[in-house]
Amino acid sequence: MHGMSRRAVLAGGLAATASFSAAAPLLAADEAEQPLKDIAAARGLRYGSTAMASQLLAGDSFTNLVIREAAALVAENEMKWLHMSTAPFRSDYRVADCLVDFAAAHRLLCRGHNLLWYWTTPKWFKELSDRKAARAALLRRVTEMVARYRGRIDSWDVVNEPVDAAADRTDHLRADVFLKQVGPEYLALAHTAARAADPGARLVLNECGVEYDTPDMDRKRAAVLDLVETMRKRQVPIDALGIQAHLTVRRYPFSEPKLRDYLRRAAAMGLEIQITELDCTDNLAPADIPARDRLVADEYRRFLDVALDEPAVRIVMTWGLSDRYSWIVRHENTPEQWRPGGEEERPLPFDRDLKRKPAWYALAAAFAHAPRRERGVRREHPTAVEG
């Protein structure tokens, strides 16, 4: 790709843009040659990706692609508690350090993912038999992690996926291991400890299942906003709402007004909004690759056109860059999301061979046409001075 002539890139870019949707606004010639991070930065937005330490340390063409396209980095798994801690109260920081060092060396903004997630909690924590010990373990996890990377992490997903809208609880908290072991105050405890350990890091509540127009997702959006409002009222520190944005082709209806309203209401509470894990499953799309890639790109564009209209959205992370490395392709998601015919899924902006796909052009066009954000505003932490 790097060796391509200007005309070849331009012709390829315009052809790909034109073929996946006649309605898509074309990119200017110079934009078709720029990396996504630059197209985003021109509008005051940041674009980044997840990666694994092994992919970054390889020093190969994929590593170079990350450096070229991304302005932000988040660890795919290596900062999750389960992955760091096998013995009670002990953690191994070596791999996490590598990722944070890589980000610093290449001037990438680093997101922290995540401090607590019910799905990746060490077995020993689940087995602690008294509440005091569990509370101490949770606080130690949060404080040690955040303090270790103080000043080097832009935003922390403090609790990943805390909400269960179907739960029979007025606080909408998921009946997870933290609720069981510590009690409902665990969320405020974690946020307060994170703020104390690094007053300059943005604290994010990261949720899935809020992107489409289904009764479940209606309830989820309402529950998340309700929870955040309660946190605000109780002065629990929180700076941003994370929307995972694991999209899916042809599975659910989409409602532009409902997504807009969700973003607007979060922004009205003074929160920044981060798109944290954007990708797209294609198991309900036809096997034909051009048709499939077009549907995936359309899904990206439809979502981003609405999301980027909201000025509080400042950062977009995709959950990987290339189909070579995706949890969807590795079938680490649920079996209903796997392609029935066994063809490899194509969820990300670059294909296995690191060639740009229609999804890349959808991201590029969405960034290029996004309303311009105020430059510099984001660098100031909203509540750092109070911390």
Q: Would you tell me which residues interact with ligand XIL (CB under 6 A)?
A: 76-77, 160, 208, 244, 277, 327, 332
Distance, in Å, from the CA atom of 204 to the CA atom of 192, rounded to the nearest integer, reads 12
Minimal distance in Å, beta carbon 324 to ligand XIL? 14
Q: How far is CA 152 from CA 44, 110, 242, in A?
A: 21, 7, 19
Q: Which amino acid is at 194?
A: A
Q: Which amino acid is at 84?
A: M
Q: Which is nearer to ligand XIL, 17 or 276 (CB)?
A: 276
Minimal distance in Å, beta carbon 15 to ligand XIL? 32
Residue at token pair 């294909």:
351
Closest-approach residue to ligand XIL (CB): 327
Minimal distance in Å, beta carbon 119 to ligand XIL? 7
Strands 246-248 and 240-243: unpaired
Q: Which is nearer to ligand XIL, 24 or 240 (CB)?
A: 240
- Annotate 15-49 with DSSP letters as a single string: HHHHHH-TTSPPPPHHHHHS-HHHHHHTTT-EEEE
Q: Which is nearer to ligand XIL, 13 or 112 (CB)?
A: 112
Q: Which is nearer to ligand XIL, 63 or 77 (CB)?
A: 77
Mapped onto helix, strand or coil, the DSSP state of residue 198 is coil
Q: Which is nearer to ligand XIL, 208 or 267 (CB)?
A: 208
Minimal distance in Å, beta carbon 156 to ligand XIL? 13
In total, the chain counts a number of residues equal to 387
Sign of the alpha-carbon dihedral angle for 29, 33, 34, 40? positive
Q: Which is nearer to ligand XIL, 181 or 244 (CB)?
A: 244
H or E stretch at 7:
helix 6-20
Distance, in Å, from the CA atom of 41 to the CA atom of 110, rounded to the nearest integer, reads 16
Minimal distance in Å, beta carbon 349 to ligand XIL? 16
- Annotate 202-218 with DSSP letters as a single string: EEEEEE-S-SS-SHHHH
Minimal distance in Å, beta carbon 385 to ligand XIL? 30
Q: Which is nearer to ligand XIL, 348 or 364 (CB)?
A: 348
Minimal distance in Å, beta carbon 30 to ligand XIL? 34
- Which one, of 281, 386, 275, lies nearest residue 329 by Cα? 281
The gap from C-alpha 192 to its chain's centroid, in whole angstroms, comes to 22
